[in-house]
Chains A and B, each alone.
Chain A
Amino acid sequence: MDMHVKKLGLKEKYAHMTRGLGWDTTYQPMEKVFPQATFEGIKIHDWEKWEDPFRLTMDAYWKYQAEKERKLYAVLDAFAQNNGHLGITDARYLSAIKLFLTGISPLEYVAHRGFAAAGRNFPGVGPRVACLMQSIDEVRHAQTQIHAISNYNKHYDGFHDFKHMLERVWYLSVPKSFFDDAFSAGPFEWMIAIGFSFEYVLTNLLFVPFMSGAAYNGDMATVTFGFSAQSDEARHMTLGLECIKFMLEQDPDNLPIVQKWIDKWAWRGIRVLSLVGMMMDYMLPKRVMSWKEAWEIYFEQNGGALFNDLARYGIKVPECLTQCSVDKEHISHQAWATFYQYGGAAAFHTWMPNDEEMDWLSAKYPNTFDKYYRPRFTYWREQAEQGNRFYSNTLPMLCQVCQIPMLFTEPDDPTQICYRESEYKGEKYHTCSDGCKHIFDDEPEKYIQAWLPVHQIYQGNCFNEGVDPTAEGFDPLAEVLKWYHLEHGKDNLDYEGSRDQQNFQAWRGMATQNT
């Protein structure tokens, strides 16, 4: 038999292995097979107009990622075998990595599920293939980060039950609710929420501090993961941007919907980033840059260029973001003050900055640190030295939308907590800002279901089975910590005197000294 074998050109191969895989259904009408494609109100007339930002086929993807993964795991192994954890600057760094790995890694997994669902629900082949690849990227990232957790978990406290904690612990509800909110929307809003706002507008503010922070503090395992993920992130950013342009080019009616989602998700993302701000300014022993500087570089400058680019479609910079130029002077200090006083219920250690660190903060925040925060922190430090360390003993009021304690101040008055209130069907709801109130008022039916950790504790839903809250001597905080799987005295409280501190010093001593 005369087999005429012709090798396909890249372009042809790409067309066959992506668009060529699509078909229209015949047993069932397309709208029944793809019910999620229309209910959000986004109008798509021609899915073929989707421009694939990366002409990548699945087989090429596989080969390329496998190669990267081999290198990454080789480095992780070497890190583990050579006690790489002893190379970090200071064991306080572990608190930063605990917060990041326990707060973000499970979300990589949710992102994996979300992109898989988006891929299933879009009728167009182009975005389906792109979502499929991103979905696999995200599950790979979750896996590699869990391996990183595993390495640290062998030696240090607080890493032992991230999945259990994600669904229970008060501050982990902040990133969790962010992704739950996105995942429970339709596929187009998901793409704006995660694909665009999170992966494009805010990704540099999340990953650059994390990766540079790791590099500055000697955490080579995390740096390696960062390099490995970076090429994926570039693809994700391009997908997010392509998706938004596609929606805007398909129909003019899409503009107000897309603008609404951008406004919402930019604000939701910024609230989550408060945690990153405090990590940069307080938790990294060796600092990369201040949160304020990061905001100026990665949002005000780079983000500004992005919105200039989108202006031709009629997209405007979200109004709520003007407030961020004021907030950038405050949020990291306010967030760290919160974790310091609720450090009894956090699965990482807290501390007050030392003199040198306070001077750094004064220099980075000349308008605000000495005026508003230094006296407070100095007072706490003095009290701690006298054996009167401040732990708040009452649960805080939370924002109904972002779920962060109501710690943010009025944009025009940093001495006044920002209170916003809405009423829906006779019930009161409180939010921390105009941004969160606006989100609530737009879809109250969604946010009245919020699983707010403080309210859940008061409802009695956060104790182990068999625990009797009416029994004599019942200690609610102790019982909540047990339910969190958080070991009191080991995972929480001050860094000073912690097991992490002691072990790190002892082990590093063994690695660098003879006696």
Chain B
Amino acid sequence: MAVNALKDYSFAPADSQDKFHGNQLLYVGWDEHLMFCAPFAYCLPPDTRFGDLCQKFMAHSFGYHPEWKQVDFSKVTWLKSGQPFVPDMDKTLAELGLGHKDVLRFRTPGLTGIAGTCS
């Protein structure tokens, strides 16, 4: 619905991709591991390899968790905007069709967090 306003009310979005100096935003959350209070926001070049996202950037962010070392990326399942998503580790974000502000969730079967509490 349009905003009720005294004058024409139309603005450019504050976070369009052109404002990120050639990068794009990508959000990643680890399901059943709420020790990380919220999904992480990454700002990456579209030609980032998905494998680098997992092994470099996500490893940096999630590595504190005692279960991180047990994550087997061949068994991880992914959701993009809640729908199943099958990445190719050698392809880039752009090649995989991951756009600006897309959100990914990953699930690690068998790993259920600190003391099995999804922490």
Contacts and interface: CB of A to CB of B under 8 A. Distances in A.
Interface residues of A, number: 54
B26 to A, nearest CB: 10
Interface stretch (A33-41, A44-52, A138-146, A309-317): A33-41
A82 interface: no
Contacts, number: 145
Contacts of B46: none
If over half of A's interface residues share one DSSP class (helix, strand or loop), that class is named, otherwise mixed; here it is: mixed
A81 B17 CA distance: 55
Interface in A433-484: 441-443, 445-446, 448-452, 454-455, 458-460
Nearest to B102: A428
If over half of B's interface residues share one DSSP class (helix, strand or loop), that class is named, otherwise mixed; here it is: loop
Interface stretch (B31-39, B47-55, B69-77, B89-97): B31-39
B13 A425 contact: yes
A385 B36 CA distance: 20
Nearest to B81: A421
A85 to B, nearest CB: 32
B61 A393 contact: yes
A396 B4 contact: no
Contact of B103 (A375, A397, A416): A397
B114 interface: yes
A403 to B, nearest CB: 12
A392 interface: yes
A176 to B, nearest CB: 15
A160 B100 CA distance: 38
Contact of A449 (B14, B25, B117): B14
Interface size range on B against A: 35 or more
A394 B37 contact: no
A392 B37 contact: yes
Most chain-B CB neighbours within 10 Å: which of A375, A394, A443?
A: A394
Contacts of B99: 428
Contacts of A379: 35, 114-115, 119
A122 to B, nearest CB: 15
A407 B27 contact: no
B28 to A, nearest CB: 9
B4 A445 contact: no
Contacts of A448: 11, 13-15
A405 interface: yes
B21 A460 contact: yes
Given A39-B4, A442-B1, A396 B41 contact: yes
Contacts of B81: 421
A455 B14 contact: yes
A334 B38 CA distance: 10
B4 A450 contact: no
Interface in A350-393: 371-372, 375-376, 379, 390, 392-393
A449 B34 contact: no
A390 B41 contact: no
Given A35-B6, A394-B61, A428-B100, A417 B38 contact: yes
A420 B27 CA distance: 13
A395 B115 contact: no
A455 B117 contact: no
B117 A372 contact: yes
Interface in B4-24: 4-6, 9-11, 13-16, 19-21, 23
A392 B14 contact: no
B21 to A, nearest CB: 7
B106 interface: no
A450 B41 contact: no
Nearest to A460: B21
A341 B21 CA distance: 28
Interface string A336-358: 01100110000000000000000
A40 B42 contact: no
A37 to B, nearest CB: 11
B37 A375 contact: no
A132 interface: no
B118 A396 contact: no
A-B pairs, top 3 by smallest CB distance, nearest first, are A415-B118, A376-B119, A394-B61
24 contacts: A35-B6, A40-B4, A41-B4, A371-B117, A372-B34, A375-B117, A375-B119, A390-B64, A396-B39, A397-B27, A397-B40, A398-B38, A407-B38, A415-B117, A416-B31, A430-B101, A443-B1, A449-B13, A449-B14, A452-B14, A452-B15, A455-B25, A459-B15, A459-B21
